[in-house]
């Protein structure tokens, strides 16, 4: 029996991945690098520390990962401040549908200050009992630590929680922590390997009403 639903944020609740793609490519170009989607896809769902490590593995030990991340973040904030970051389709309606039935929590690899700001700006912060964020864990997704901590924060066993994720890293993290995984793909379609880790796969958030 499912008692709680734990959401990822980026690419699930807010449409930030599209903005990240633009700022990522722009920041890489400024440093003379290009992205063939391999790098950004490997980093989807990971926190700051793990992203820097992946970037050095892909581009070399001398890649200025911290400088790159700071520039990408600066470009992201420019778009956020001028245009705003929208909710994903059906996000608020789905959260409002689930809130009376389940405990809602969040497990995002983004740092807490950014999570709170983005959820507040989009009007959904108050629906979540707890926020577990990338700067609260040593290793984020695909490591299961963030989901284990999220479950502990609401006092509900992992096997009684469903995780709503869009990325393979997120699915791997939630599955390894023992949650029932629901994938709502955004930028990356599920592979056969990922499909085996999913309890359900939904085309959009609205379909969660048929699952939960």
Both 150 and 94 in one domain: the answer is yes
Percent of the chain with pLDDT over 70: 99
Q: How many CB atoms are located within 10 Å of the residue 22 CB?
A: 13
Both 51 and 150 in one domain: the answer is no
pLDDT digits over 179-193, tens only?
999 999 998 999 999
H or E, element range at 67: helix 65-83
Closest C-alpha among 17, 41, 8, 14 to residue 179: 8
Q: What is the mean pLDDT of residues 41-48?
A: 85
Both 29 and 134 in one domain: the answer is no
Domain of residue 79, residue span:
17-83
Lowest mean pLDDT, pick from 46-50, 135-139, 142-146, 201-205? 46-50
- For residue 6, pLDDT over 90 is answered with yes
Both 113 and 40 in one domain: the answer is no
Let me know the angle formed at the C-alpha of 98 by 127 and 130, rounded to the nearest 5 degrees: 35
Q: What is the mean pLDDT of residues 60-68?
A: 92
Say how far apart CA 74 and CA 92 lie, in whole Å: 27
Domain stop point among 29, 57, 83 = 83
Both 40 and 97 in one domain: the answer is no
Domain count, the chain: 2
Both 75 and 90 in one domain: the answer is no
pLDDT of res. 36: 62
pLDDT digits over 82-125, tens only?
999 999 999 999 999 999 999 999 999 999 999 999 999 999 99
pLDDT of res. 37: 66
């Amino acid at each position: 029996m499912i008692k709680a639903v734990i959401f990822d944020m980026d690419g699930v609740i807010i449409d930030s991945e599209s903005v990240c793609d633009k700022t990522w490519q722009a920041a890489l170009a400024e440093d003379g690098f290009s992205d063939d989607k391999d790098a950004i896809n490997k980093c989807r769902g990971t926190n700051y520390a793990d992203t820097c490590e992946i970037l050095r593995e892909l581009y070399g030990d001398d890649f200025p990962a911290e400088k790159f991340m700071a520039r990408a973040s600066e470009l992201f904030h420019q778009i956020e401040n001028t245009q705003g970051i929208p909710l994903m389709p059906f996000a608020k309606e789905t959260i409002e549908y689930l809130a009376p039935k389940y405990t809602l929590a969040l497990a995002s690899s983004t740092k807490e200050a950014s999570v709170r700001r983005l959820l507040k700006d989009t009007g959904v912060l108050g629906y979540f009992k707890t926020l577990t964020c990338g700067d609260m864990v040593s290793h984020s997704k695909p490591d299961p630590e963030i989901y284990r901590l999220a479950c502990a924060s609401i006092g509900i066993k992992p096997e009684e929680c469903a995780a709503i994720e869009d990325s393979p890293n997120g699915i791997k993290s939630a599955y390894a922590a023992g949650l029932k995984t629901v994938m709502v793909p955004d930028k990356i379609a599920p592979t056969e390997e990922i499909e085996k880790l999913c309890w359900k796969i939904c085309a959009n958030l609205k379909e969660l009403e048929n699952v939960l």
